[in-house]
Chain A
Amino acid sequence: MSLEGKLALVTGSGRGIGRAIALKLASQGTDIIVNFFRHRDTAEQTANEIQALGVKAELIRANVGDPAKIDEMFDTINNKFGCLDILINNAASGVGRPIMDIDVKAWEWTMDINARALLLCAQRAAKLMNGRDGKIVSISSLGSPFVLPNYAAVGVSKAALEALTRYLAIELAPQGICVNAVAASAVETEALKFYFKEGLVKDNRQATPAGRGVIPEDVANVVAFLCSEEAFMIRGQIIVIDGGTSIGMFSLAGKE
């Protein structure tokens, strides 16, 4: 499985899951465009680590919740590279509130970054992938098929992202573009530590059938596979990465 000589845009790759994906693809020979928004220092660190792996890294700051910024980002990619092989739609944000406290601003912020960004990035990416067997992989969440506390806005945005993944998979198939998504349970990142602290998620490491929590590299491994030619016949699917948590009923009841 080699992705040598490819060019990938990984949105939100300064930290967490995006960073792990960027490094995994880089380790397979892919040049990486590191998109970030609020944390330039960590993005620069990611870019340095990518370059240390012997491939190119390009930093682009853009809020993917803003259509004009998405356009600017793709204009830069077009001018600088003129092509793209892989789009990893990872950047995410959201407002953790109960349904009754979700206002229009919180809803739109979450939907714009988590769902609309895939539409707009995929539209621009598809043009740059012309004739290049492109791959588009998005990061979803188990908050789409399941109900998690204070997660309605994000969960619904991820459900939209998953439906869009299926439509893109079919509509972009004639151009040779493979479109899929992965949905992980709580992944051990800085963002998760915040959710623990806020009491929004429980530490369920003990209840995971696989015996440990999901780490960013688990997600990155599956994403890299979906970007390879070995995954050519997987289209429009949402691959669950949760160590068995979502299907293991005993884990919901708690282990003795």
Chain B
Amino acid sequence: MNTEEQVREIVARITHTDKSIITRESTFKEIKADSLDIVQALVAVEETFGIEIPDEEAQKFQNFGDFVSYVENQIAQKEKV
């Protein structure tokens, strides 16, 4: 399972959403994720991939695709180090 799929699974589990409807263009509002869902998703993703996602960065995510791209970048940077 690639990074995007893993993040999608986490977000779907936390928001009780069918993962097939979560696309890269989906906004958190469309997924009906409230602020607590978002924090829990961030924490779950951080723990899964061993990365940190500061709130200031998370606030910039416009949609699920932004979230995935940030995670992919962080993983790539971690692998470089």
Which of the four size classes fits the interface of chain B? under 10
- Distance between B18 CB and nearest chain A CB, rounded to angstroms: 18
34-80 of chain B: CB within 8 A of chain A: 36, 39-40, 43, 52, 54-55
Partner pick for B36 among A38, A61, A63, A95, CB 8 A cutoff: A95
Cα–Cα distance between A106 and B55 once the two chains are bound (Å):
19
A41 surroundings in chain B (CB, below 8 A): 54
Cα–Cα distance between A38 and B46 once the two chains are bound (Å):
11
Residue of A whose beta carbon sits closest to that of B35: A95
Verify B54–A40 contact, CB threshold 8 A: yes
Of A39, A40, A105, A106, most B-chain CB atoms within 10 Å = A105
Which secondary structure characterizes the binding site on chain B?
helix
- Residue A195 interfacial (CB < 8 Å): no
Residue of B whose beta carbon sits closest to that of A68: B47
- Residue A109 interfacial (CB < 8 Å): yes
Verify A105–B54 contact, CB threshold 8 A: no
Total contacting residues, chain A, CB less than 8 A: 10
Verify A39–B36 contact, CB threshold 8 A: no
Verify B43–A63 contact, CB threshold 8 A: yes
Cα–Cα distance between A38 and B36 once the two chains are bound (Å):
13
A63 surroundings in chain B (CB, below 8 A): 43
Q: What per-residue 1/0 map shows which CB atoms of A79-122 lie under 8 Å from chain B?
A: 00000000000000001000000000110010000000000000
In addition to A38-B39, A95-B36, 14 A-B residue pairs with Cβ atoms within 8 Å of each other are A38-B54, A38-B55, A39-B54, A39-B55, A40-B52, A40-B54, A41-B54, A61-B52, A63-B43, A105-B36, A105-B40, A106-B36, A109-B36, A109-B40
8 residue pairs from A and B, CB less than 8 Å apart: A38-B54, A38-B55, A39-B55, A40-B54, A41-B54, A61-B52, A95-B36, A105-B36
